[in-house]
Structure 1
Amino acid sequence: MKNRFKSSFNIFTLFSLLASLLGSAVFATPAYAAGIVVNSNADTIADDGTCTLREAITNANGDSQLYATNGECASGVGTDTITFAANHTITLDGSQLPVVTSTIIINGNGVTNTIIQASSCNPVTLPGSCTPASYRVFEVNSTGNLTLDKITLRHGQCSGQCATNQTIGGGIYNDGTLEISSSTVSGNSSSSDGGGIGSFGTITVTDSTFSTNDALYGGGIGSYGTSTVTRSTFYGNSAVMGGGLYNSGISTMTATNNTVTGNSADIGGGYYNDIASHLTIMNNTISDNSAPYGNNIYNYKGTVTLNNTIVAKSNIFSNCSGVITADAYNLATDNSCGSSNNKTWAEINLGTLTDNGGPTKTMSLLTGSVAIDTGDNSICPTTDQRGTSRPQGGSCDIGAYEADSNSPTFTDVPSTHWAFNYIESLYNAGITSGCSTSPLMYCPDATVTRAQMAIFILRGMHGSAYIPPAATGTVFVDVPANAFAADWIEQLALEGITSGCGNGSYCPNATITRAQMAIFLLRGEHGSIYTPPAATGMVFGDVPLGSFAVDWIEQLAFEGITSGCGGGNYCPDNSVTRAEMAVFLVRAFGLP
């Protein structure tokens, strides 16, 4: 015990002597934590006990330690990670954030929860009446290394000269190292290069979305350095050159598993590759971009290599312009993209840009697409844009999307739709071919008419090959022989499934209610003479005893065909949607 006390006394004495020799500065430097937590959405620098993003970046740079002695935005030594205590939308107040000069990681809470914006309005589309910003959001100098994860960065604008006499980079100007992952860069604008990002340094983009950015060169990204873009989506961006991405200045860009669609430019709607630059595109889906020269890709005396990529556009302009190296493992809709295998738009059969799972929107490969199982396995990435393993079949698929067992048939019914499996079953059983053929759509939210229901019910009863006898036009006064679905409506009556809507009419254009549907389904399943057991009035809160079709509705529930509309109710008077119809039919007729 005596020795331990002596040791403590000697350490204390040593620090006392150091303090007397060096002054009080020995104890003035605080002990900082390794991370900084932003706990305010303000854009201020003030000794007010809160930590703003502007203060956090200033302290992380190490230029000064603003108010760190009281614990506000205390910074660590070396790499600093900035996080957010809550969900914030931070609107800058008159100037860009401090230039990043050190290594800083900013981890947001998700693209809808952490939003960093120069203005509350979009300088590209200018919704509302607010004044757009005249500055960008982030800047990284040659010594800086910035990582952005799970944030939305938007509404920066660089027209004329921004903070460092650079006119490029509406959202971010990078002269050092920049990494962006799982983020959204939208609504930024530059009067020069890079509406979203303008870079002379190194940039790495993963699992991110660039939309509605605008620039002279490179609406989404304008790069004069080294760039790697993976599993990301570019749509709705615009520029004079390179609506989606612009690669220039003897630079190198590698783009893998990306969807580039709906971008526009005067030259190179999707990609523009400039003189002496190198652009490698692997397993991209590049579709429906627009430009008079090179709808999807324009190469001006640089090197462009295409691998396992879809380049699709159906208008009078060429998909590709310039010399592009592409073999037959690529698909194009004209003869302009090297040795690509040329197919029609219908043969490639792409879905619309939508949420098919994964961090970004994609364009699925629909049933029968020639892109399925026709890629080059020797250079195929191990996953697609969504993270789905490649290959799912014998060979990997061409493009950014790898078709799997949940690949959607209809462009408006992604695999994430609540009724996806039922709608797919209905299609595979031949009960429906959808509501539109070009593109193939199902219209899941549209209501079902009594005429359409007649077709659904009879095909469910008799199979997809069934064709009813020709109509006579004498069964219902409002269904002449040449009316839509007249054959089906009359056969439904002949089989005792319906007696019409009253007064000798069928009301073919009226929507069918969920109560009426219960009767049609059970008669179709069990026959015209079927009568359900008496109801209890205890199954659904909105279907008491005495309600229209209460016996049928309760029996539908007992057979597991319906569980109601939620909250213990059935919603008997609601019109049946086409998605609900798919569920009813698959369950009632046991479709696989």
Structure 2
Amino acid sequence: MRNVLKWFGGAAVVLVLTALSIRPAAAIVVGPGNCNESGLSSALAAVDTPSGGTITFNCGTATINFTSGKQIANTVTIDGGGTITFDGGNAHGFFQFFFSSHVTLKGLTFQHGILSNGVRALENIGALRLDHVKVINNNSTRGPVLNSGTLDVVWSTFSGNSATSGTDGDGGAIENNGGSLSVLASTFNGNTAAHQGGAIFSNSDFSITNSTFNNNTGTGGGGAIYQEQGGNSILSFSTVVGNHSPVFGAGVYNDGGGSSQGTLTIFSSIVSGNETGNCDGLLQTGGYNLSNGTGCGGVFTGTGDLINQNLVMGALTNNGGPTQTMLPAAGNPAINHVPSGVCQLQYDQRGGGRPTGAACDSGAVEVGATIDLIFADGFE
């Protein structure tokens, strides 16, 4: 019995020492008085440890100018509360996320970042979540946001970004290169790729739901979205309207090339008014899609699919919720087009309830829905 008690006593000592060696996650507040790059770097050094941590700000509305990119390797949250802007001054990028990282960026604006020292504005090979984030006016020879890990984008806006190389400038906003990409309730507007994929370029899996693509340009194809090679992807309940490409697939394009032909399925979406064609390449339908021309005629042949429709849309604007959207005008056949039993979505892009009428609307917006303010304030 004495030996048994001795063993338990030793185990207890080990457990106590182990517990003492594990530090709790840090919670660091930047400001007031250090609302600058130095203050952010100090906070980042404190939380980017095996214990991880969270950075928040007591700076009011502030812009922090970056003079160098930062690296993150652990579990870190940076929450700007909707009042903090990171500015690269058209000279620097922001963050590189290592394979071991699990990072959430929330309530932040990233602007004027470029590819610097081989690193783009945001470069992820770990696990990254962009939540209520604005990525605006960032430029790179290739996509300003590179994902080769896991990237989740929710309630965010990508606007005015560009990939400028005519040979490998893919993904004016996001280049999903071998990673897994999920986009929910987000807007892509005015992004430009000098090569392919005005908003998003992907050669691997992606899922896009309740999102809006407008006025993006892919010079080499895929004005809004371009997929190539492998990857099994889906675009659902989204609005792809008024995008551009001088060659083909101004809305959505899948080239199906490479040794493994990927799939891109479109479901309950509006793909309309895109210059040089709404759909192109090897696409599949999940049904209940609508197009204003014949360009999707070889694809939109499933249940509820309609082509040659008069799909009058409102301008991209604030229709409620955290991101701008395009509201279908009265009489648009997308309204009440998806049977409620097929819809299986609780909210639209704005946080408005689905269905509102007898059925759900195709596209990103549910006309007439009451918006749940919990999504608008960023604290869902």
Distance 1:349 1:334, change over 3 A: same
The CA RMSD measured in Å over matched residues stands at 2.1
- CA distance in 2: counterparts of 1:401 and 1:245, whole angstroms: 21
Aligned pairs (5 A) from 1:277-288: 277-288=231-242
Distance 1:343 1:406, change over 3 A: farther
Which of 290, 293, 317 is residue 331 of structure 1 equivalent to?
290
- CA distance in 2: counterparts of 1:397 and 1:348, whole angstroms: 13
Distance 1:200 1:33, change over 3 A: closer
Which of 355, 358, 362 is residue 398 of structure 1 equivalent to?
362
Structure 1 counterpart of 2:150: 202
**Which residue identity is paired with 1:275?**
Q
The answer to whether structure 1 residue 153 and structure 2 residue 125 are counterparts is no
Which of 115, 124, 131 is residue 85 of structure 2 equivalent to?
115
Instruction: Using the TM superposition, give the Cα deviation of residue 327 of structure 1 relative to its aligned residue in structure 2, in angstroms.
Output: 5.0
Instruction: Using the TM superposition, give the Cα deviation of residue 61 of structure 1 relative to its aligned residue in structure 2, in angstroms.
Output: 1.7
- CA distance in 2: counterparts of 1:180 and 1:38, whole angstroms: 20
Which of 169, 177, 184 is residue 230 of structure 1 equivalent to?
184
Deviation digits for residues 86-111 of structure 1 (CA, Å, limit 9, x no counterpart): 22210012x112x100000011121x
Count of residue correspondences: 328
- CA distance in 1: counterparts of 2:24 and 2:335, whole angstroms: 54
The answer to whether structure 1 residue 220 and structure 2 residue 185 are counterparts is no
- CA distance in 2: counterparts of 1:364 and 1:188, whole angstroms: 27
User: What is the aligned-residue identity percentage?
Assistant: 32
Structure 1 counterpart of 2:37: 43
**Is contact 1:286–1:312 with CA below 8 Å preserved after alignment?**
yes
- CA distance in 2: counterparts of 1:205 and 1:376, whole angstroms: 27
Deviation digits for residues 197-219 of structure 1 (CA, Å, limit 9, x no counterpart): 10100000000000011111111
- CA distance in 2: counterparts of 1:109 and 1:34, whole angstroms: 18
SS in 1 for 2:360: coil
- CA distance in 2: counterparts of 1:406 and 1:148, whole angstroms: 28
Instruction: Using the TM superposition, give the Cα deviation of residue 188 of structure 1 relative to its aligned residue in structure 2, in angstroms.
Output: 1.1
SS in 2 for 1:352: coil
SS in 2 for 1:107: strand
Which of 217, 228, 231 is residue 264 of structure 1 equivalent to?
217
**Which residue identity is paired with 2:308?**
K
Instruction: Using the TM superposition, give the Cα deviation of residue 405 of structure 1 relative to its aligned residue in structure 2, in angstroms.
Output: 6.5
TM-score by length of 1: 0.53
Instruction: Using the TM superposition, give the Cα deviation of residue 279 of structure 1 relative to its aligned residue in structure 2, in angstroms.
Output: 1.9
In terms of fraction of residues, the more strand-rich structure is 2
Structure 2 counterpart of 1:342: 307
- CA distance in 2: counterparts of 1:384 and 1:33, whole angstroms: 35
**Is contact 2:24–2:51 with CA below 8 Å preserved after alignment?**
no
Instruction: Using the TM superposition, give the Cα deviation of residue 375 of structure 1 relative to its aligned residue in structure 2, in angstroms.
Output: 1.6
- CA distance in 1: counterparts of 2:213 and 2:28, whole angstroms: 36
**Is contact 1:81–1:104 with CA below 8 Å preserved after alignment?**
yes
**Which residue identity is paired with 2:294?**
N
Deviation digits for residues 6-32 of structure 1 (CA, Å, limit 9, x no counterpart): xxxxxxxxxxxxxxxxxxxxxxx9x88
- CA distance in 1: counterparts of 2:125 and 2:231, whole angstroms: 18
Instruction: Using the TM superposition, give the Cα deviation of residue 153 of structure 1 relative to its aligned residue in structure 2, in angstroms.
Output: 1.0
Distance 1:290 1:379, change over 3 A: same
- CA distance in 1: counterparts of 2:159 and 2:57, whole angstroms: 25
In terms of fraction of residues, the more helix-rich structure is 1
Compare CA radii of gyration and give the structure with the larger one: 1
Structure 2 counterpart of 1:177: 127
Structure 2 counterpart of 1:589: none
Distance 1:178 1:327, change over 3 A: closer
Instruction: Using the TM superposition, give the Cα deviation of residue 34 of structure 1 relative to its aligned residue in structure 2, in angstroms.
Output: 2.8
Instruction: Using the TM superposition, give the Cα deviation of residue 376 of structure 1 relative to its aligned residue in structure 2, in angstroms.
Output: 4.3
Deviation digits for residues 390-445 of structure 1 (CA, Å, limit 9, x no counterpart): 011111000000011789xxxxxxxxxxxxxxxxxxxxxxxxxxxxxxxxxxxxxx
